[in-house]
Amino acid sequence: MNTRYRKTIIAGNWKMNKTATETKKFAEELKPILPKAKRCEVVVCVPACNLSTAVRAFRDMRVSVGAENLYFEKSGAYTGEVSAEMLKDLGVKYVIIGHSERRQLFGETDIIVNKKVHAALEAGLNPIICVGESLEEREMGITLDRITLQVKAALAGVSGDKIRKCVIAYEPIWAIGTGRTATAEQAAEVCNEIRAVIRNMHGARTARSVTIQYGGSMNPSNAEELLAQQDIDGGLIGGAALDPAKFVSIISAANQE
Ligand code: PGA
């Protein structure tokens, strides 16, 4: 973390978990245990059907709400899809784009990710852009090449001032939901490279202002070590974010730094 130049963001990614009723219950349980003074921004990304419930439930806790996906077109005949403007109008602030589950299970390509990033920024949403290598890619020694390509593709055509509104989440696919976390050194190496890619594209001032998160089995016992790394400015947390007490432990780890 480096709170001098950029925001630390602890974000939960609920994936396809919790109903609207369970969303309210989570908020009620979180409220009394959430640290009052936070050195980080806290975000919960919830399923689309729970967004308005979440915006209402978390409003007085200064917890921001994020969506887990959007469609890049503004409106039209796209049955089942949700646009950036629709999310913005609900009071949503962040949107996860290019999560590996969407890339792997729903055919999301780097080109689609780029279109979604543009759509989010145009509507005034802050995209949380996920990048990450597979285990095979890591073992082949092409992790940094893979990440560089994903970051360049996601940010293609995005101006420097808009890039400051983007969050990049480094999520090694082999660490997601597996209980197998990247070591702090592995995570730091990649997050450092992501910043270097942005520096090469848009200069040092822009690069140092971008929040870069780590995600992949982050939990209360490894959060502190990961967040102690200069270029790791927060976490995108799946499993551990579903439990209010564990989520708060990770927020507290960010508060300590
Ligand atoms: P995990 O998920 O913390 O359960 O590994 C992280 C993510 O997919 O964003």
pLDDT tens digit sequence for 180-199 = 888 999 999 999 999 999 99
Q: Are 111 and 149 within 8 A, CB to CB?
A: no
Mean per-residue pLDDT, 122-136: 97
The per-residue pLDDT for 36 is 82
pLDDT at residue number 257: 58
Q: Is residue 2 part of a domain?
A: no
Q: Is residue 178 part of a domain?
A: yes
Total tally of structural domains belonging to the chain: 1
**Residue 43 falls inside a structural domain:** yes
How far CA 150 is from CA of 59, 111, 132, 188, in Å, comes to 34, 10, 8, 17
Instruction: Give residue 200's pLDDT.
Output: 97
Q: What is the CATH number of the domain that holds 219?
A: 3.20.20.70
Whole domain around residue 67: which residue ranges? Answer: 8-255
| Ligand 1 center to 188 CA (angstroms) | 17
Name the pTM for this structure.
0.97
- The catalytic position among 68, 171, 193, 202 is 171
Q: Does ligand 1 come within 6 angstroms of the Cβ of 68?
A: no
Assigned domain for 1 exists: no
In the annotation, is 118 catalytic? no
What the block records as the tokens of 164 is 């400051």
- Give the span between the Cα atoms of 129 and 136, in whole angstroms: 22
Question: Has residue 3 been placed in a domain?
Answer: no
Return the ligand 1 atom nearest residue 239 CA. Answer: 4
Judge whether 133 lies within some domain.
yes
How much distance in Å is there from the Cα of 100 to the middle of ligand 1?
10
CA distance 201 to 164: 13
For all residues of the chain together, what is the average pLDDT?
96
